[in-house]
């Protein structure tokens, strides 16, 4: 009888001379085309039979690791981050991956065999990181990094399952960022006017550009005639290596001969990020002044100036370092005495203002550089509802529930118009967004102050006539369309409350070059009753001050102070005068002129 032979590729079990049982299972084909036969060994036949059956089951499910290098967590993560990820992701992304790999994952898990890594190992690492002081956000970044790295290991069959998809990352609460109030923004802008690159901070607060987008702006991106800025690149964080052969004993970033190994800018991260933005006229004027200041710095720097065309530069023309820019932001917050916040929170402020002003969603998306698929989520995150907005929303809901003609279902309220109006006047609607809505315009002197309620406009006119009998004042009724077409400021200028009036204290002094005080034959300090629409004299701050060099041949330096607290104004005046004298004596210190 002929002995039967097992088919090629079938599993084999036999006992060796030493008494141990051995098994061979064909699990696939090697890279060279030969069968991939895996070997297992056990002491008894039942044990080897079970081992062979288990290996066959893994083969049938496609869960047998590929033959070849036996990876450790350290060797795989190093290979992945340097040879795979570095070729496929952006510079900022790879920086984050490297921090997670070299500072957290390899020190915490590097010695494990890759196929032996368990979800519990990862969860214990996250807990250990947080216990050592790392935030939940940092642990989440590490979790995302190892998940991406091990997904690639599964795809390349270095392992069969990704334990990071099973492990639970720490709970990450999305922090609700509070935007700066109008008063806080004004205080920031006042302080920004005293430092270099003033327009850099105005752009952040007014247009909401990201840090990299602002620092990557070049003059060729600014169209002064059209009033448009084209955002198309972002500034990258420098990455340095030693230029001294590593002999200085310092970190590469502090080497006296350091060499930047990274390009300065890259294109915006998405098509939506590349966008034109309309710029307010006042900001365009500020950019023009900034360009003149940069021209003077170029003359002063002479041979040291490096011309690269950036809008915001160091004193010698180099693009600003993002890290230095971050510290200047923190200095600005301290000087303005506003609460601490991230530089990116200035973007929240700008986005919130756009949304609250009722700018259409498509326009907001274009200005902020949001991709269409993500814009709804981003708008929800950035729109921070404030009390006035909630009140206006409630009024609109009330208008829908209780129409203007239905007097039986609601009691009279303060939002109603006057009891009687001239036949020629348009009757107001209680719905502030109704096409029949009107605007009550208080015409006081040369000012047009629009109100939603007649009583507010009348109160202003009555008080104006009492205080300033020589100036005419009256209430006019305009329809919404006329105000939109002719009124200054459009619908944004229409007031939902009465005007505010305060006694504002002022102080002023002027100095000639060298510090000599100019005799103005006028009082240095005075007070005036000012309305909130009189922007040149009104303020609601206790005290604020500034110094400036007046244009003209005399080169006078002015010290100006105003506020509603008389003692605070007097104290601020002393400080303003001190800086004005210093500015008059040392104009080059403040970048006023290159001729001194």
Q: Which residues are catalytic?
A: 210, 241, 344, 347, 370, 382
Tokens of residue 284, six digits: 């365009």
Which residues on neighbouring strands pair with residue 530, listed in sequence order? 502
User: DSSP letter at 530?
Assistant: E
Distance separating alpha carbons of residues 357 and 399, to the nearest angstrom? 20
Distance of CA 388 to the CA centre of its chain: 24
Residue pair 396/431 in contact by the 8 Å Cβ criterion: yes
Distance separating alpha carbons of residues 478 and 455, to the nearest angstrom? 15
* Residue 270: CB atoms within 10 Å: 12
User: DSSP letter at 385?
Assistant: -
Q: Could you tell me where the DSSP H helices lie in 156-197?
A: 182-192
3: CB partners within 8 A, 6+ apart: none
Tokens of residue 31, six digits: 């890279």
> If we measure between CA atoms, which residue out of 303, 206, 306, 301 comes closest to residue 264?
306
Distance of CA 343 to the CA centre of its chain: 6
Residue pair 296/392 in contact by the 8 Å Cβ criterion: no
Residue pair 51/40 in contact by the 8 Å Cβ criterion: yes
Distance separating alpha carbons of residues 585 and 207, to the nearest angstrom? 36
Residue pair 199/224 in contact by the 8 Å Cβ criterion: no
Which DSSP string do the residues of 223-275 spell out, in sequence order? ETTTTEEEE-EEEPPP-EE-SSSS-S-S-GGG-TT-EE-S-SEEE-SSTTTSE
For 239-257, b/e burial (b = at least 16 CB within 10 A) is eeebeeeeeeeeebeebee
Which residues on neighbouring strands pair with residue 509, listed in sequence order? 559
Host H or E run for residue 326: helix 322-336
Tokens of residue 232, six digits: 């198309």
Is the dihedral angle over the CA atoms 400, 405, 409, 411 positive or is it negative? positive
Residue pair 501/529 in contact by the 8 Å Cβ criterion: yes
Distance separating alpha carbons of residues 165 and 147, to the nearest angstrom? 7
Distance separating alpha carbons of residues 11 and 22, to the nearest angstrom? 11
């Amino acid at each position: 009888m002929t002995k039967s032979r097992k088919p090629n590729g079938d599993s084999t079990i036999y006992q060796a001379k030493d008494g141990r049982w051995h098994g061979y299972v064909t699990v696939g084909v090697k890279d060279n085309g030969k069968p991939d036969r895996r070997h297992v060994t056990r002491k008894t036949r039942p044990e080897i039979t079970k081992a062979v059956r288990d290996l066959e089951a893994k083969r049938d499910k496609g869960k047998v690791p590929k033959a070849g290098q036996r990876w450790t967590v350290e060797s795989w993560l190093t290979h992945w981050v340097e040879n795979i990820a570095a070729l496929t992701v952006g510079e900022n992304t790879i920086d984050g991956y490297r921090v997670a790999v070299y500072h957290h994952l390899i020190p915490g898990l590097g010695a494990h065999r890759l196929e032996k890594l368990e979800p519990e190992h990862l969860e214990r690492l996250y807990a250990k990181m947080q216990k050592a002081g790392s935030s939940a956000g940092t642990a989440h970044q590490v979790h995302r990094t190892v998940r991406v790295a091990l997904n690639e290991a599964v795809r390349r069959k270095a392992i069969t399952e990704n334990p990071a998809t099973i492990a639970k990352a720490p709970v990450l609460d999305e922090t609700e960022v509070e935007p700066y109030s109008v008063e806080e923004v004004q205080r920031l802008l006042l302080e920004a006017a005293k430092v270099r690159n003033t327009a850099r901070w105005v752009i952040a607060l007014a247009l909401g550009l990201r840090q990299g987008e602002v620092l990557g702006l070049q003059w060729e991106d600014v169209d002064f005639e059209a009033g448009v800025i084209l955002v198309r690149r972002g500034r990258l964080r420098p990455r340095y290596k030693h230029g001294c052969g590593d002999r200085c004993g310092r970190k590469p970033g502090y080497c006296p001969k350091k060499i930047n190994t990274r390009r300065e800018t890259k294109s915006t991260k998405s098509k939506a990020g590349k966008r034109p933005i309309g710029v307010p006229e006042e900001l365009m004027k500020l950019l023009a002044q900034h360009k003149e200041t940069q021209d003077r710095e170029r003359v002063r720097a002479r041979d040291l100036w490096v011309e690269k065309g950036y809008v915001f530069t160091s004193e010698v023309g180099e693009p600003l370092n993002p890290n230095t820019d971050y510290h200047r932001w923190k200095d600005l917050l301290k000087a303005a005495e506003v609460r601490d916040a991230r530089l990116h929170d200035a973007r929240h402020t700008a986005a919130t203002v756009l949304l609250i002003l009722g700018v259409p969603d498509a326009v907001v998306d274009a200005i902020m550089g949001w991709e269409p698929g993500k814009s709804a989520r981003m708008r929800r995150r950035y729109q921070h509802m404030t009390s006035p907005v909630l009140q206006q929303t409630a009024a609109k809901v009330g208008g829908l529930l209780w129409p203007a003609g239905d007097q039986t279902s609601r009691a009279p309220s303060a939002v109603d118009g006057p009891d009687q109006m001239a036949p020629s006047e348009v009757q107001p609607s209680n719905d502030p967004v109704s096409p029949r809505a009107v605007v009550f315009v208080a015409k006081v002197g040369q000012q047009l102050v629009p109100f939603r309620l007649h009583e507010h406009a009348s109160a202003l006119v009555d008080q104006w006539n009492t205080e300033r009998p020589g100036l005419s004042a009256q209430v006019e009724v305009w329809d919404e369309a006329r105000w939109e077409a002719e009124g200054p400021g459009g619908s944004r200028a229409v007031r939902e409350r009465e005007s505010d009036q305060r006694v504002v204290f002022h102080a002023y002094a002027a100095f000639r070059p060298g510090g000599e005080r100019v005799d103005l034959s006028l009082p240095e300090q005075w007070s005036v009753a000012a309305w909130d629409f009189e922007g040149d004299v009104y303020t609601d701050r206790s005290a604020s001050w500034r110094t400036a060099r007046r244009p003209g041949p005399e080169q006078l330096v002015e010290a100006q102070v105003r506020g509603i607290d008389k003692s605070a104004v007097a104290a601020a005046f002393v400080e303003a005068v001190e800086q004005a004298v210093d500015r008059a004596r040392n104009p080059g210190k403040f970048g006023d002129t290159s001729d001194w």
